[in-house]
Amino acid sequence: MPRSPGWYYSGSTTTDLQEDGVMTAEPDRDAAGSETAEALEEAADSTGLDVLARSGFAVLAVLHILIGSIAAGIAFGGYGQAETSGAIGPLARSEPFGPLLMWGGCIACASLALWQLAEATVRVRHRPPRERLVKGVSSGALVFIYGSVAATFAAFASGRGRDSGDSTSDFSAVLLASPAGAPALAAVGALVLGVGGYFVFKGSARRFRPELNYFEDTRRGHLLNALGVAGHIGKGIALALVGLLFIAAAVNHRAEESTGLDGSLQALLGYPFGAPLILAIAAGLICYGLFALVRARWGKM
Enumerate residues 6+ apart whose C-beta is below 8 A from 161: 85, 88, 89, 92, 152, 155
Rounded CA gap, 291 and 294, in Å? 5
Asked if residues 58 and 104 have their Cβ atoms less than 8 Å apart, the reply is: no
Whole-prediction pTM: 0.79
- Alpha-carbon dihedral angle through residues 280, 283, 285, 287, given to the nearest 10 degrees: -130
Boundaries of every domain in the chain: 36-298
Q: Hey, which residues does 19 pair with through a beta bridge?
A: 22
d(CA 65, CA 16): 57
> pLDDT per residue over 72-81, tens digit each?
998 888 877 8
Distance in angstroms (rounded) separating the CA atoms of residues 260 and 82: 9
Determine the 3-state secondary structure of 219 from DSSP: helix
pLDDT in tens, 173-228: 888 888 888 899 899 889 888 888 989 999 999 888 888 876 667 787 888 889 99
pLDDT in tens, 8-17: 333 444 444 4
Q: Which comes out higher in pLDDT, residue 12 or 292? A: 292
Distance, in Å, from the CA atom of 100 to the CA atom of 105, rounded to the nearest integer, reads 9
Q: Which residues contact 275 (CB under 8 A, 6 or more apart)?
A: 75, 76, 268, 269
